[in-house]
Amino acid sequence: MEADIRLARIDDRLIHGQVATAWSKQTGVNRIIVVSDEAANDSLRSFLLREAAPPGIKVNVIDTEKMIRLYFSELLIGEKLMLLFTNPRDVLRLVEAGVGLQTVNIGGMRYIVGKRMITNFISVDTEDIRCFRILAQRGITLEVRKVPSDRKLDLIELLDKDDAKSSLQ
């Protein structure tokens, strides 16, 4: 038996209003695990993320290595999990270690210098694109949706359209 991962989501805001309400209700999770080396090593950020949890939902903020160990232990059996990530690199690290994910939801990756916008809420750089393409090659569905009621968009189709548009310029 393995962990019941109901949602794996990349959103660099991590726990915020939409996650706390819409996604937790939609997925029926009882635990949110923030998988981020950066957040796990920042005690104030970890505290604030745990405080942002909706009532009745436990929150853990851990690094990628600990998540891999937990996944293969029996500690998560019986838990209904939402995994939150800030970037596709951490998702890929888990998948390459054998963590079973079928779908990854991409909810928000903010623009910073060096990234290009592919939607009004998702910006990527070459490393993000490399990781997303490897995840897709491994058969993982990459869906773009901010909230559960949004129409699902295929991230790879968006990347391909953006590549085609870029090559014309």
From the candidates 5, 13, 16, 35, which is the catalytic residue? 16
Contact of 115 with 88, CB cutoff 8 Å: no
- In angstroms, the first-to-last Cα distance of the chain is 51
Place of tokens 């920042």: 42
Is 16 assigned a catalytic role? yes
- CA-to-CA distance for 107 and 152, rounded, in angstroms? 11
State the virtual CA torsion across 101, 57, 22, 33 in degrees, nearest 10.
-30
Which residue in this structure is represented by tokens 């706390």?
20
Q: 116 CB contacts (<8 Å, ≥6 apart)? A: 123, 124, 125, 162, 166
Q: What is the C-alpha to C-alpha distance for residues 163 and 169, in angstroms, rounded to an integer?
A: 10
1: which 2 tokens?
């038996």
Q: In one letter, which amino acid is 92?
A: L
Which residues have a catalytic role annotated? Answer: 16
